[in-house]
Chains A and B, each alone.
Chain A
Amino acid sequence: MSKQAKLTLLAIAAAVLMLWVVITIVPLYWMVIGSFQDSKASASFNPQMWPKVWSIAPYERFFTKTNALRWLFNSLFVSAVITVTNLFFATLAGYAFAKLKFPGRNSIFWVLLSTMMIPAQVTLIPLYVLVINVFNLADTYTAIILPSVVTVGNIFLMKQYMSTLPTSLIHAARIDACSEFGIFRKIILPMSKPGLAVLAIFTFVANWNDFFWPLLVTRSDSMRTIQVGLASFRFAESTDYGAIMAGATIGALPMIILFFALQRYFLQGITIGAVKG
């Protein structure tokens, strides 16, 4: 490619990319800017691109009309527990599938993996009957957490990650009569830290953002997660756009902060998690 053509391509690329960055960010900007303008004062939601008067009234209305702090705590608690259980069980299973030999290893792994093809809608109804009617867990944290204790996606991620670790160290430890759990704890875990970080971040974000299952199994207002609470608020106060934008901002803000703080893990983690073609 000639130097001229290369420069033209670069200029076009930069222009298109900047335009698309604007398109991508504008909805979030609209949300934040809308949340700081008091729409209740006027008849319709008519936010300015840059408000003349900043107002926190939408936030006050959102927090006084709802159980938002409780919802945030519920989301935090549920996501944190699910992240910890996934870290524990997915690393153990991922290690077993990657490094240990046992009869049935491959068939068990493939059966688990193939369940990822089954859409959630198929298992949802019996799962609902099981958790609500059989286990009698309606409106409890356990009901929200139980089906997500360890996911196949996370086991797959840890298996992929751990198969890149050197097997020779494990053999050496075994010769030194280290127990299998000891090997896992003293050798595998310390070497897996980047993989664990990726698993933790993505699991936490996914469960913070999860909506459908918590919607089905929660009943009382105080047991809702922030996502379910936001949805209920949208239907209860459907004309108060300002307060809805305030709620949407509150629900997204922790994840946006997390993203900026741990950007490197987010951007690298995607390639670790994807199935290699």
Chain B
Amino acid sequence: MKTNNVRAIPGPKAPHSRFVQFWKDYGWAYLFILAPVLLFLIFTLYPVVSAFLMSFQKYNVLHSKWIGFDNYAYMFTDNVFWKSIKNTVIFTVGTVPVNIAITFILAFFIFQMKQSWQTFFKASLYLPAVASGVTISLVWLAIFDPTASGLMNRVIGLFGLDPVLWLGQSNKALFSLMLMSYLGAHGSGIILYLAAMGGIPKSLYEAADIDHASGWTKFSKITWPLLKPTTLYLAVTGVITSFQVFISVYLMTQGGPNFATTTIAYLIYEAAFVFYDFGLASAQSFVLAGLIILVSVIQFKYFSSDIEY
């Protein structure tokens, strides 16, 4: 430790210079992280604590009232809350694995291509990701137009099917949002998979060839296990994103019809900024946070148990 060295050579004002020395050694470092730490305290730590307290209050900017667990009690008896949980879980379970599968297959195919084609496919499959959620939602709102002139209805019309009220029917609206997610941008996942595929040593495949391993064996014993960290990353980030799906719901369905697309994030938005019930919204947000953390932990446990290098 540097401070010990300072004490070993006593200066004229030993107790004072110890602080000076500490400042000289570490002052810059603390100065460099000062802004993020302050922002963390004000814009993350304080809000988390405050939200926790709010969830036990009938919140009002001027005089809040403590109501114990009433917000939580109300929430758990509210049908719409349970419906929003169900919708969110269906959306997540229905999109994340499918999107990972699509991403993986596309990446695997791109990996077989020459370098210049790889760049072309990476770039064109990434492109929609630079458009905002608002733009994408507005475009899909037009694509799902309920009349026969809507793009999606024209596509199914090619197969002789009648026009569908994609977003206007409670048994199809959530599925329509899922379909939009399947057909959206998979570019960043593809790029991550490609980077990981490029990192698998060629020697492993050569050794497998010597043992006359089949293509499937090579895939299931080499490729897939070695790509697990990437799959885990995509699964965790995918779940976190789809648990918070909001913009498409807000712009395309407003949670309807008949709450068929009300997700937890949309429910929280409504509770907070339509009905201004900040206490209830805070309680709901902690349930969302709990679910996200729970699922992330399970994913880490499940996926990382057999990753070995």
Which A residues are within 8 Å of any B CB, using their own CB? 1, 5, 9-10, 12-14, 16-17, 20-21, 23-28, 30-31, 34, 44-47, 89-90, 92-93, 95-97, 100-103, 105, 108, 111-112, 115, 117-130, 133, 146-147, 149-150, 152, 155, 179-181, 184, 205, 208-209, 211-212, 216, 227, 230-231, 234, 241, 244-245, 247-249, 251-252, 255-256, 258-259, 263, 266-267, 270-271, 274-277
Q: Are B285 and A125 in contact (CB under 8 A)?
A: yes
Shortest distance from the beta carbon of B296 to any chain A beta carbon, whole Å: 7
Q: Are A119 and B285 in contact (CB under 8 A)?
A: yes
Q: Are A133 and B61 in contact (CB under 8 A)?
A: yes
Asked if B165 CB lies within 8 Å of chain A CBs, one says: no
Shortest distance from the beta carbon of B110 to any chain A beta carbon, whole Å: 7
| Chain B residue contacts of A92, Cβ below 8 A | 32-33, 35
| Chain B residue contacts of A5, Cβ below 8 A | 215
Q: Are B110 and A44 in contact (CB under 8 A)?
A: no
- Per the bound structure, the CA–CA distance linking A181 and B243 in Å amounts to 42
- Per the bound structure, the CA–CA distance linking A14 and B132 in Å amounts to 29
Shortest distance from the beta carbon of A129 to any chain B beta carbon, whole Å: 7
- Per the bound structure, the CA–CA distance linking A136 and B192 in Å amounts to 43
Contacts known (A119-B244, A122-B288, A251-B132); A17 close to B110, Cβ less than 8 A: yes
A-B contact pairs, 12 of them (CB 8 A): A16-B105, A26-B151, A102-B29, A119-B288, A119-B289, A126-B47, A150-B35, A152-B36, A227-B133, A244-B142, A255-B130, A267-B122
Residue of B130, B243, B250, B285 with highest tally of chain A CB at under 10 A: B130
- Per the bound structure, the CA–CA distance linking A44 and B163 in Å amounts to 15
Which B residues are within 8 Å of any A CB, using their own CB? 25-26, 28-30, 32-33, 35-37, 39-40, 42-44, 46-48, 50-51, 54, 61, 105-106, 108-110, 112-113, 119, 121-128, 130-136, 138-143, 145, 147, 149, 151, 183-186, 188, 191-192, 195, 215, 228-230, 232-233, 240, 243-244, 246-247, 250-251, 264-265, 268, 272-273, 278, 281-282, 284-286, 288-289, 292-293, 296, 307
- Per the bound structure, the CA–CA distance linking A78 and B165 in Å amounts to 39
Q: Are A230 and B134 in contact (CB under 8 A)?
A: yes
| Chain A residue contacts of B121, Cβ below 8 A | 17, 21
Q: Are B36 and A155 in contact (CB under 8 A)?
A: yes
| Chain B residue contacts of A121, Cβ below 8 A | 244, 264-265, 268, 284-285, 288-289
Q: Are A31 and B142 in contact (CB under 8 A)?
A: yes
Chain B residue with the shortest CB-CB distance to A15:
B109
Contacts known (A16-B109, A122-B51, A244-B142); A211 close to B133, Cβ less than 8 A: yes
Choice from B112, B243, B285 contacting A124 with Cβ under 8 Å: B285
| Chain B residue contacts of A181, Cβ below 8 A | 28
Q: Are A126 and B183 in contact (CB under 8 A)?
A: no
Q: Are A28 and B131 in contact (CB under 8 A)?
A: yes
Q: Are A274 and B233 in contact (CB under 8 A)?
A: yes
Q: Are A93 and B35 in contact (CB under 8 A)?
A: yes
- Per the bound structure, the CA–CA distance linking A26 and B180 in Å amounts to 12
| Chain B residue contacts of A133, Cβ below 8 A | 61
Q: Are B293 and A256 in contact (CB under 8 A)?
A: no
Choice from A34, A108, A118 contacting B33 with Cβ under 8 Å: A108
- Per the bound structure, the CA–CA distance linking A117 and B240 in Å amounts to 8
Q: Are A255 and B125 in contact (CB under 8 A)?
A: no
Q: Are B240 and A256 in contact (CB under 8 A)?
A: no
Q: Are A17 and B240 in contact (CB under 8 A)?
A: no
Q: Are A30 and B142 in contact (CB under 8 A)?
A: yes
- Per the bound structure, the CA–CA distance linking A208 and B288 in Å amounts to 27
- Per the bound structure, the CA–CA distance linking A126 and B42 in Å amounts to 10
Contacts known (A44-B149, A93-B33, A102-B29); A122 close to B48, Cβ less than 8 A: yes
Choice from A16, A100, A227, A270 contacting B134 with Cβ under 8 Å: A227
Residue of A27, A47, A256 with highest tally of chain B CB at under 10 A: A27
- Per the bound structure, the CA–CA distance linking A116 and B39 in Å amounts to 14
Contacts known (A27-B136, A108-B37, A230-B135); A266 close to B126, Cβ less than 8 A: yes
| Chain A residue contacts of B191, Cβ below 8 A | 267, 270-271
Chain A residue with the shortest CB-CB distance to B189:
A270
Residue of B29, B61, B183, B293 with highest tally of chain A CB at under 10 A: B29
Shortest distance from the beta carbon of B5 to any chain A beta carbon, whole Å: 14
Shortest distance from the beta carbon of A147 to any chain B beta carbon, whole Å: 5
Shortest distance from the beta carbon of A11 to any chain B beta carbon, whole Å: 10
Chain A residue with the shortest CB-CB distance to B271:
A125
Q: Are B244 and A252 in contact (CB under 8 A)?
A: no
| Chain B residue contacts of A115, Cβ below 8 A | 40, 44
- Per the bound structure, the CA–CA distance linking A131 and B269 in Å amounts to 17
- Per the bound structure, the CA–CA distance linking A119 and B251 in Å amounts to 21
| Chain A residue contacts of B30, Cβ below 8 A | 102
Contacts known (A30-B151, A209-B132, A277-B229); A13 close to B112, Cβ less than 8 A: yes
| Chain B residue contacts of A23, Cβ below 8 A | 183
Q: Are B139 and A117 in contact (CB under 8 A)?
A: no
- Per the bound structure, the CA–CA distance linking A101 and B33 in Å amounts to 12
